[in-house]
Amino acid sequence: AERPWVCMAIMAAPSPSASGESAPPPPPQPLQYSLLLQHLVGDKRQPRVWDPAVLGGIPCPPKSEEQKMVERVMESCPFKAALACVGGFVLGGAFGIFTAGIDTNVGFDPKDPYRTPTAKEVLKDMGQRGISYAKNFAIVGAMFSCTECMVESYRGKSDWKNSVISGCITGGAIGFRAGLKAGVIGCGGFAAFSAAVDYYLR
């Protein structure tokens, strides 16, 4: 007998809309894409520590003082210049022997061009030309490598400008022995050649 009165009391209770007070709307739920962006690039992004052991790589042990010293020596300008000098000597010698081998005038005496040179004279001429080319290539390689290393250390950058500047300095220094005009031509030509080689290698 009490249940109808309870239902009537509930129905008679004023609702918020009937009393004139509107309930605040629920806040809109953020999109899942926005939540994902917050975790990837937003404020909720957590820094991740890359551990080679976790990724399956080989952990790198700390370098010893001997290894650091060897790296400093190999990255120094004198070592680079010496390495370029040795490489230029070998390359120049091979180039000189090659050019002497295809030259038909190797071993011939200008005073007696009709005399056939001997094998010893031909080998001697080839060796002299190879040594001459080797010396020139070694000097140019050492100058270019040392100049490039100094320019790179001064600028603090590793780009194509280092090759162009060092090529201009090297070519100008070599050509300046024949005069100012030859120095300018050598600077421009060696700089263009260095830029082309650097562009091809990069």
Q: What is the pLDDT of residue 6?
A: 42
| Strands (DSSP E) found in the chain | none
Determine contact, residues 176/182, Cβ cutoff 8 Å: yes
Which 8-state DSSP code applies to residue 178?
G
In a 13 Å sphere around the CA of 78, the CA atoms on its Cβ side amount to 2
Distance CA 184, CA 171 (A): 8
Q: What is the residue extent of each domain of the chain?
A: 73-103+118-157, 159-201
Tell me, what amino acid is at 46? Q
Spell out a b/e string for 92-122, using b for 16 or more CB atoms within 10 Å of the CB, else e: bbebbbeebeeeeebbbeeeeeeeebeeeee
In a 13 Å sphere around the CA of 192, the CA atoms on its Cβ side amount to 5
Gyration radius (Cα) of the chain, Å: 40
Per-residue pLDDT of the chain (202 residues; tens, 9 = 90+): 444 444 444 444 455 544 455 666 666 665 565 666 676 666 666 666 555 555 555 666 777 888 888 888 888 889 999 999 999 999 999 999 998 888 877 777 777 767 777 888 888 888 999 999 999 999 999 999 999 999 988 888 888 888 899 999 999 998 888 888 989 999 999 999 888 888 887 6
Q: What is the pLDDT of residue 133?
A: 94
Counted residue by residue, the chain has a size of: 202
Distance CA 125, CA 100 (A): 8
Q: What is the pLDDT of residue 141?
A: 92
Q: What is the pLDDT of residue 82?
A: 93
Distance CA 154, CA 75 (A): 15
First to last CA, the chain: 96
In a 13 Å sphere around the CA of 67, the CA atoms on its Cβ side amount to 4
179 is written with which tokens?
Answer: 């005069």
Which residues partner with 112 through β-bridges?
109
46 is written with which tokens?
Answer: 């957590």
